[in-house]
Amino acid sequence: MALNLIIDGYNLIRQSPYLQEIDARELEAGREALLASLALYRQSRPGHKITVVFDGWDQGGWKESRDRRAGMTIIYSRRGEKADEVIKRLLEKERSRAIVVSSDRELQDYADRVGAAWISAPQFEASHLRGAAGPGPAAEAEEAEYLPRPSKKGPAHRAPKRQRQRQQRLKKL
């Protein structure tokens, strides 16, 4: 099953120390650096569909605009609409095939409600955009918060089904 990776663009940029530094100098340069990193990631995972959503609610056009680059779909929300609303529409459509990359708790909760998986922006950046160095301490601590710590073995002590399904989808990243 091909996954649709839906990325909250500015959320990922602002959660990444590297991308945040570039973004502070020039907004367009921050977006380009993110898209370049994602293009490298896509080369290693050509079967995944990647959609990057950027806010256009403040300075965007009156219509939602879409662009294709390096096999990725880039969406700029229309003026007056936040990227979160576009992401929610995409999640409603994709459901269990979607994985959301965002640290926005509202989007994470919405993903859980529609049956999609989610991964926080720092965790995704540390484990998939920075290479094989592995997740940083913050990502490991966040992941540990959601993983059960059984003291005994056996099926009675395994994680809930929904959590096991989410973990299986995240392994495909």
State how far the alpha carbon of 108 is from the alpha carbons of 9, 84, 105, in Å.
15, 11, 5
Q: What is the DSSP letter of 161?
A: H
**Residue 6's closest CA among 124, 113, 137?**
124
Q: How many residues does the chain have?
A: 173
Question: How far is residue 5's CA from residue 19's CA, in Å, rounded to a whole number?
Answer: 19
Among 28-37, 52-61, 87-96, 100-109, the minimum mean pLDDT is found in 52-61
CA 122-124-129 angle, to 5 degrees, is: 105
pLDDT tens-digit map of 117-157: 999 999 999 888 764 333 444 444 444 455 455 565 666 67
Per-residue pLDDT band at 168 (split at 50, 70, 90): confident
Residue 90 has pLDDT above 90, yes or no: yes
Task: Please state which of the four CATH numbers 1.10.10, 2.60.40, 1.10.287, 3.40.50 is assigned to the domain occupying 4-171.
Answer: 3.40.50
Residue 71 has pLDDT above 80, yes or no: yes
Give residue for tokens 């919405």.
Answer: 110
Return the domain boundaries, the chain.
4-171
